[in-house]
Amino acid sequence: MTWKLFFTSSIGKKFIMALTGIFLITFLIVHCTINSMIFFNDAGETFNHWGHFMGSNLIVRTMEIGLFVFLLLHIVQGLILWRQNNKARPIKYAVNNANKNSKWYSRSMGLLGTLILIFLVMHLYHFWTPSRFGGMIGIKALDEVNLDVYNNETVHNLYAEMKLVFENNLLIVIVYILGVISLCWHLLHGFQSAFQTLGVNHKRYTPIIKGAGVVYSLVICVLFALMPIAFYLHWIN
C-alpha cells in the first residue's frame, strides 16, 4: 500500500487521529499547568510571567502553528470518520444493545467533538486572539501593565482578562464548564483509543493505560473547570 492510499484509508485516518490526539494530550498538560498558576493568588504575576514567555518565545510561537495544524487535522479527520461510520450503517440494526456493546462517550465522539469545537472558538475569542493581536474589531484589547519583576517588559495582563471574562458572567462560566465536561468525556475514550490505534494493546499494559487515561482526564478537566469557578466565586484575588 502506498503512503497516499494509507493516509486516505480508514486505518490511515484513525492513525492520524491517534497521532494528533497524543500531541494535543501533551499540549493540554502544558496549557493546564501554566493556567493553574492563577492559584498562586499573587495578583497574576506568576501566570502573566509564563503567559508572556509562551507568547513571545520564538520556538513556542513556531510550535503554536503546528498545534493549530494538528488541531484542525484532528477535527477534520474526526468528523470524516464519524460521517463514514454513519454512512456505513444507513439502516440501524433491529436489535442494538448499545449500552452493552460500547460506552456512551464512545458512541458520541462526533457530538462531543462538535461541542468542544464550539467551546474552543469561544475560548480563542476571549483569550488567544486579543493576547496575540492586541485586540481586533469587536474584541476588547487587553490592558497592558508594566511589571518590574519581568525586567520592565510590558506584557499583556492575561490574568486581568480572565477576571474580566469570568468574574461576573455566570452564563459564560456555565458554558465553559459544559465545554470542559465535554472535553473530559472525549478524553476518557480518546486517551486509551489513541494508544490502541498505534498498536499499544496488551493485556498487561492496556489496564495501566486506561487507568492513566482516567486520572489524566479527571485531573486536567477538574483544574480547567475550577479556573472560571474560582474567579466567579472570588476564591482568588
Using the structure block, give the residue that is written with the C-alpha cell 490511515: 12
Give the burial string for 16-54 (b: 16+ CB within 10 Å, else e): bbbbbbbbbbebbeeebebbebbeeeebbebbbbebbeb
- Given the C-alpha cell 436489535, which residue does it identify? 95
pLDDT at 136 over 60: no
Per-residue model confidence (pLDDT) at position 2: 57
Residues 32-64 have pLDDT tens digits of 999 999 999 988 888 888 887 887 777 777 777
Distance CA 20, CA 126 (A): 25
Non-local CB neighbours of 195 within 8 Å, separated by 6+ positions: 18, 22, 201, 209
Q: What does the pLDDT look like over 62-114, one tens digit per residue?
A: 777 777 777 777 777 766 766 666 666 555 544 455 555 555 555 566 667 77
With cut-offs at 50, 70 and 90, classify the pLDDT of residue 147.
very low
Distances (CA, A) of 57 to 36, 45, 65: 20, 18, 13
Contacts of 154 (CB under 8 A, 6+ apart): 144, 145, 146
Does 216 have pLDDT greater than 80? yes
In total, the chain counts a number of residues equal to 237
The SS3 assignment for 218 reads: helix
Could you tell me the pTM of the whole model?
0.76
